[in-house]
Amino acid sequence: MSKPVILTGLRANNDLTIGNYFGALLPMIDMATTKSNEYQINLFVPDLHSFTTPVDHRTLHEQIMHNLRLFVASGLPLDNADIHIYRQSYIPAHSELTWILDCFTGMGEMGRMTQFKDKSSKLSEDRISVGLFNYPVLMAADILLYGASYVPVGEDQTQHLEFTRDIAARLNNQFKAEFPEGLFTVPEAVAKQHAFFGKDQGLRIKDLADPTKKMSKSDETGKGVIFLGDEPSAAAKKIMGATTDSLGSVHYDKINQPGVTNLLDMLALLQHRGVKEVASEWEGNERYGDLKKAVAAEVETFLADFQARLATISDDAILQKLETSEQVMNETARRTLLRAQQAVGLRSL
């Protein structure tokens, strides 16, 4: 590969919310398009990761395709040769390298992962899979196969990135005689990742019913979450029912008025304006209903337009891009896997 690699994953399953759209989809697409002149962009679908916790396997394949359509409808270009879109499970080297890395990974290392502790605490013991426990090793393989230096990760994934750096350095040191230049490229440290991508991820949309927490698909009532597939009119009704407060005056105050502040953040995102400008226009307004109506109208228009774009997306174009990218990625991944196999004695040097 002639260019340094930026690697990140596209969600394989789960419904996407309007919060995912503004907080993840758009920033990812903007990063890919603006940096593709200088970097190779690897956007992979982590479909093997998608069932580390229980899912409906009957709908998994269609959900993967649906989410790819969502990314394309959000502006992901299919005609950029430096942006590669590929499915993890279509590159066998991901699974094969994971096994090699497993054999150099300690149980204690995996047991200390906070993501495993958090997710496993929500499952009964017989539903906690080895895959959930082993997730960071597969993530390390995802990164190391392509020599990726930059991997944008959220706070919940920083431990996994540090593990990737640790396992790469460990094998580089153990097999430095065979590969003095290094068996793997060690990705940059978290601090450098934040400096490269920017730690400030911008506005985050909160739950409409409980604006002290982020908007999440795990909301069982559905009242606090707007999905990209919601009927526009139904989404508008959710906005009208959003939790505010009893203070009776609009102020941008995340601590004392989180519900009102969330509505202002949403309005700024939907209107593509600065939040300070929007907040100043509404400052001191005593009619929360007017603010809700303004946000509801923007949400309804946004969803109607987005769903119209989504309906025009061609699966054939997506599949063609996947096939082209997967050929390139298989070649790169096989070369890295061969080096790892040679290092551990499975193949001759």
CATH of the domain at 10: 3.40.50.620
Shared-domain flag, residues 131 and 35: yes
CB-CB contact of 66 with 47 (8 Å): no
Alpha-carbon span 80 to 331, nearest angstrom: 19
Shared-domain flag, residues 246 and 135: no
What's the pLDDT band for 202 if we cut at 50, 70, 90? Answer: low
CB atoms < 10 A from the CB of 174, how many?
A: 14
- Provide the domain limits for residue 273: 232-310
Is the pLDDT score of 232 beyond 90?
yes
Shared-domain flag, residues 64 and 193: yes
Across residues 41-57, what is the average pLDDT? 92
Shared-domain flag, residues 335 and 302: no
What integer pLDDT is reported at residue 1 of this predicted model? 54
The mean pLDDT value of the chain amounts to: 93
Shared-domain flag, residues 105 and 142: yes
Question: Is residue 225 one of the residues assigned to a domain?
Answer: no
Lowest-pLDDT range, 29-43, 212-226, 239-253? 212-226
Across residues 135-160, what is the average pLDDT? 93
Helix (H, G, I), strand (E, B) or coil at 214: strand
What integer pLDDT is reported at residue 203 of this predicted model? 77
Look up residue 232 and give its two tokens: 């526009």
User: Which residues are known to be catalytic?
Assistant: 119, 214, 217
Q: What percent of the chain has pLDDT over 70?
A: 97
Shared-domain flag, residues 290 and 332: no
Shared-domain flag, residues 192 and 153: yes
Question: Is residue 207 one of the residues assigned to a domain?
Answer: no
What integer pLDDT is reported at residue 201 of this predicted model? 54
Question: Residue 262 is part of a domain; what is its CATH number?
Answer: 1.10.240.10
What integer pLDDT is reported at residue 155 of this predicted model? 79
Q: Write the CB contacts of 259 (distance below 8 Å, at least 6 apart in sequence).
A: 208, 211, 242, 243, 244, 245
* Number of domains observed in the structure of the chain: 2
Amino acid at residue number 284 = G
What's the pLDDT band for 219 if we cut at 50, 70, 90? Answer: low
Is the pLDDT score of 141 beyond 80?
yes
Shared-domain flag, residues 88 and 192: yes
Is the pLDDT score of 145 beyond 70?
yes
Shared-domain flag, residues 64 and 123: yes
The pTM is what? 0.90
What integer pLDDT is reported at residue 175 of this predicted model? 97
Lowest-pLDDT range, 90-104, 109-123, 148-162, 241-255? 109-123
Helix (H, G, I), strand (E, B) or coil at 281: helix
pLDDT tens figures, 90-117: 999 999 999 999 999 999 999 889 888 8
Enclosing H/E stretch for 68: helix 60-73
What's the pLDDT band for 222 if we cut at 50, 70, 90? Answer: confident
Order of strands across the sheet with 5-9? 83-87, 40-45, 5-9, 148-150
